[in-house]
Amino acid sequence: MPRLSEYRIRRRVQFYEADPAGIVHFSWFFRYLEEAEHAMWRHAGLSIAPPDAEVAFPRVAADFEFHHPLRFEEEFDVTIRIAAIGRTSMRYAGLVTRGDTRIATGTLSIVCVTQRPNEPMTSTPIPERIASCFVAAPAGDGPS
């Protein structure tokens, strides 16, 4: 399988994701991006949190800019792109669109850490079996 740099999922706004005005609450956009991330990892044959994993990938930074509202029942796409991949971390760029309308743009940064019982988490290199599945996308202002 070729190395992944971008992945897209399609969703529909659910009732519980919207406020009383029918507009998606801002906190859901972080969940949408994370859902796309997990789908990309599954597409690569991986899980971001397999049972008995020795490493974990906590989120260390996340942000979103909102351009247009998203409303109950609307279909939309979430595109996640690997903006950078380093020895111990990955940074994603996210794009939420409804058709040709840019709804929101954001970023999410994760760090690979050790995960051992009774020990503090420490930064560690991303295992090669994981790193070899991904590649940073060409520079740009966001997912295509």
Q: pLDDT per residue over 58-106, tens digit each?
A: 999 999 999 999 999 999 999 999 999 999 999 999 999 999 999 999 9
116, 35, 3, 6 alpha-carbon torsion, rounded to 10°: -140
pLDDT mean over 124-132: 96
What was the pLDDT predicted at 142? 53
In order of their start, the domains of the chain are: 6-131 (3.10.129.10)
Q: pLDDT per residue over 21-69, tens digit each?
A: 999 999 999 999 999 999 999 999 999 999 888 899 999 999 999 999 9
Are the C-beta atoms of residues 33 and 78 closer than 8 Å to each other? yes
Tell me phi and psi for residue 58, to 5 degrees: -65, 155
What was the pLDDT predicted at 66? 97
